[in-house]
Amino acid sequence: MEKSVVLVTGGAGYIGSHTVRLLKDKYDVIIFDSLFRGNIESVPQDVKFVKGDLLDKEALNRVFTENKIDSVIHFAGLAYVGESSQKSELYYNVNVNGSFNLFAAMSENGVKEIVFSSTCSIYGNSAQNPIDESQPPVPSNRYGQTKRMVELLLKDFELSYNFRYVSLRYFNAAGCSPTGEIGEKHTPEPHLIPVVVLAALTGATVSVFGNDYNTPDGTCIRDFIHVCDLATAHISALDYLKETKKSEIFNLGSGTGYSVLEIIKKVEELTGLKVKYNILGRREGDPAVLIASSEKAANVLNWKPEYNLDDMILTAFNWFKNPKF
C-alpha cells in the first residue's frame, strides 16, 4: 500500500527538520525550503528535497504538478519577534503573501488538507494564564500579527474552497534531537534557551530585555516545549485531519512558565557553568507572561509533552557542545 504524500514547507528548518525525521516513518515526505534560514545538512538523505521559495508562484505550482501531494505541513516563514518590528514589510511579504501563494497552489491542484505552524504570539498580552484557545487573538507584535492573518486566510480558504486545517499555536520551542543527529542553528539565534546555553559554553553575555515586568523577578515568563514534542503534535494533527476532516486550533505547551532569570539559573545548575547577563530595556512586543493550556490537545489529539525543562536544556547543551553542522 502506497503511503500518503506530505509536502513540508520549511522542512529544513529547526522544527520542520525534527518533524520530518518522525513523519517519514509514516508518510512519504517532500521538503520545500528556500534554505534562507534552513540547513540542508538537516535533511535526511532518503527524503526528497526541492529548493524553492513561497514567493515564487511558478516553483510552488511545479512542486504540486510534478508530485501527487495529498496534504501539507506548513512551517516556512520568518519567526523573530524583534526583527518583525524592524522589518514589517519583509514579514508581511514572506509570512502572509508566501502563505497565500501556497494556499492558492494547493487549491489549484486539489490539495485540501494542511497543518499550519502558528504561534502563541497571536494572543498578545492575554489577561488569562494559562491561555486556552477561547482567548481572543490580539497580537502585540508584527510576527504574531502575520500569523493571525494567515489563520484568517485559512478560514477563508475553508469557506471558499473546502480546505481543512489544523492550526497549532505553540509556545517556545526548545531542545534538540536526543540522538544529537540534528539540532538548532540560527543566525542570529533568537531563542532564549540556546542563547543562554551558548553563553555558558562561550562566555558570551546574555541580554535580558526588561526586569520591571509584573512577575516575581521582574523578567518575562514563558512556557517552553521540546521540539520533539512539537514534532509528534504535528503528526497527530495530520492524522486527526485525515480521520475527521474537521478544522481545529490547538495550543501546544507544557503548562508551566519559567522566567528569563530562572532559565539562566537552571542552565548554570545543569551544566556547572557560569552565565553572564546584562539587564537591558524592554523589547517591543514582548508580553510579560505566556503560559499554555494544552488540555484541548491532550483530550482531542491524545498529545502530551514527554520532555521536561531539564531535557530541553541538556539536549541543547549536548548539541551546541558538538554540533553536526
Domains in the chain, number: 2
Q: Which segment of 188-192, 264-268, 296-300, 318-322 scores lowest on mean pLDDT?
A: 188-192
Give 170's contacts (C-beta < 8 A, 6+ positions apart).
117, 118, 119, 120, 225, 230, 233, 251, 252, 253, 292
Burial class of residue 144, CB neighbours in 10 A (0-12, 13-18, 19+): buried
Nearest alpha carbon to residue 170 among 55, 41, 18: 18
pTM here? 0.95
For 29, the grid coordinates are 515526505
pLDDT of residue 124: 87
Q: What rounded mean pLDDT belongs to the chain?
A: 95
pLDDT of residue 285: 76
DSSP state of 196: H
170 and 265 assigned to the same domain: no
66 and 127 assigned to the same domain: yes
pLDDT of residue 190: 83
pLDDT in tens, 72-87: 999 999 988 878 889 9
pLDDT in tens, 219-278: 999 999 999 999 999 999 999 999 999 999 999 999 999 999 999 999 999 999 999 999
The radius of gyration of the chain from alpha carbons, rounded to an integer in Å, stands at 19
CB 147 within 8 A of CB 116: no
262 and 241 assigned to the same domain: no
201 and 159 assigned to the same domain: no
266 and 230 assigned to the same domain: no
Q: Give me the residue label for grid cell 535533511.
A: 43
Estimate to the nearest angstrom the gap between the alpha carbon of 216 and the chain centroid. 27
pLDDT of residue 279: 97
305 and 199 assigned to the same domain: yes
pLDDT of residue 222: 95
Q: What is the mean pLDDT of residues 43-59?
A: 97
CB 47 within 8 A of CB 24: yes
Q: What is the CATH number of the domain that holds 292?
A: 3.90.25.10
pLDDT of residue 27: 97
Cβ atoms < 10 Å from Cβ of 302? 10
Instruction: Tell me the one-letter amino acid at 11.
Output: G
Of the candidates 143, 165, 170, 258, the residue annotated as catalytic is 143
pLDDT at 140 > cutoff 90: no
pLDDT of residue 187: 82
SS3 of the chain: helix, strand, coil, percent, to 5: 40, 20, 40
For 249, the grid coordinates are 486550533
Q: What is the mean pLDDT of residues 15-38?
A: 97
CB 127 within 8 A of CB 290: no
Residue 35: which region, alpha, beta or left (left: phi > 0; alpha: psi -120 to 50)?
A: left
pLDDT of residue 224: 97
The percent of residues in the chain predicted with pLDDT above 70, rounded, is 99
161 and 23 assigned to the same domain: yes
User: Rounded to an integer, what distance in angstroms lies between the CA atom of residue 308 and that of residue 175?
Assistant: 10
pLDDT of residue 313: 98
pLDDT in tens, 118-128: 999 999 887 78
Confirm whether 161 is a catalytic residue: no
146 and 292 assigned to the same domain: no
CB 87 within 8 A of CB 69: no
Residue 260 domain-assigned (yes or no): yes
pLDDT of residue 186: 87
* Residue range(s) defining the domain that contains residue 42: 5-174+225-252
pLDDT of residue 128: 85
Nearest alpha carbon to residue 171 among 290, 274, 267, 10: 290
Instruction: Tell me the one-letter amino acid at 188.
Output: P
Q: Give me the residue label for grid cell 534554505.
A: 35
